[in-house]
Amino acid sequence: MLLAGAWIVLPVLGAFCLVVFAIGGQMAAFVYGEQYRGHVTTLAALAAVMFMNGVGMIAGTGLWAIDRPRANFTASVLNLVVTIATALVLIVPFGAAGAALSILAGTSAGSIVQAIKLTWNLRWTATESCETAKL
């Protein structure tokens, strides 16, 4: 069931990212006016945040499903620390784009850790189940 969700969510969010990467400037200009046409980096970073958030949501749900909700905690703390650290460095020189990139860095770090923890826990659970079955 978890993989079925991943096969739906990730391609849809990936397609959304590609659309924003391709025509994000035109979308911003159409909705907010010509002065926002140059904010493609901000929009692209926020679209990538949505994709990485999808990865983290799927991995986090998987950790809850296998009764390992505590594994989400370290990923959440890492997300917070990376977001704050990169925000301190990027917001002043890059403004809104720096804020978006900070959010992307934190979300990516947290989501990757969640995916790694899910993979590790699934392998460990599968190995444990196989050893129990041999008894």
3-state DSSP helix/strand/coil percent for the chain, to nearest 5? 90, 0, 10
List average pLDDT for each run of 10 residues in the chain, which is 135 residues long.
73 91 90 89 94 94 91 94 98 96 98 94 70 53
Q: What is the pTM of this model?
A: 0.84
In the block, which residue shows the tokens 């969010």? Answer: 13
